[in-house]
Amino acid sequence: MTCTRLSPNRTSPRNHAIDTVTIHCTAGQGTARQILNMSHFTGYDPDNGASCNYAVGKDGSIGLCVDEGDRSWCSSDRENDHRAITIEVSSEAVSPYKVTEKALAALIDLLTDICGRNGIKSLVWSNSKADRVNHRGGCNMTCHRDFAAKACPGDYLYAMEGDIAAAVNKRLEEGEEVTQEQFNAMMEVYLTQQREKETSSWSKEAWEKAASSGVFDGTAPQAPLSREQASLVLDRLGLLPEGES
């Protein structure tokens, strides 16, 4: 996150779990900070005020405008914004409202992060508005133009939504984070193997002798032996020749 300026134009808390993303375009280039500072975001106006959850700047900066736990006033559809994370992406001021490569890369980073944290397994796009607004076939990407007579997110981003979803999904698959449960299961396997090693019969007798005779200190049978420690062991056993000094 590059910057935060929370908008008063929000509904707190949202009334639906986050299961959708809605990408918008700003129709005017700016950094995340500049987008957050726009007067229709900063000035409270229950009728015409607006906001978004995140803003992505032309330089790849990312700003927080409305906490994820709250509903932004962004997509001209209350129901959509209660379940969606809305993202304003800095774009050119004229159609097709092109965005910079930096903004696109930051958008993909941000979406990957949002999906990972909110349990959205993958982004599903459809070119059909009916699929999108009815969440058919797991569709979880909507557009401002689905709810109002607007060009948003612009033809440039609109045409890329499927590619954006694919890029995010690839990242989600590659970087799948290990859950606590998976980690515990892995640790259990590891610890079981360790315990087996410690009680293996082939070394038990020798280990007990080594420990009780003071060659080792009797702890950590599976600990690695450094050259320094090996020298000490060999010396204790009287196996080291005298050096020629």
Rounded Cα distance between 169 and 43, Å, is: 36
| Strand order, beta sheet including 84-89 | 3-4, 62-64, 54-56, 84-89, 20-25, 141-142
Q: What angle do CA 85, 171, 62 make, to 5 degrees?
A: 45
31 or 72, CB closer to Zn ion? Answer: 72
Rounded Cα distance between 54 and 32, Å, is: 9
Total residues in contact with Zn ion, by rule CB under 5 A: 3
Check residue 152 for interaction with Zn ion (CB under 5 A): yes
Among 71, 144, 146, 158, binds Zn ion (CB under 5 A): 144
Rounded Cα distance between 173 and 167, Å, is: 10
Check residue 24 for interaction with Zn ion (CB under 5 A): yes
CB of 152 to Zn ion, least distance (A): 3
- Range in contact with Zn ion (rule: CB under 5 A) among 52-60, 147-155, 171-179, 181-189: 147-155
CB of 9 to Zn ion, least distance (A): 14
Structure tokens that stand for 211 in this block: 């420990």
CB of 39 to Zn ion, least distance (A): 17
- Range in contact with Zn ion (rule: CB under 5 A) among 10-18, 124-132, 144-152, 177-185: 144-152
Residues near Zn ion (CB under 5 A): 24, 144, 152
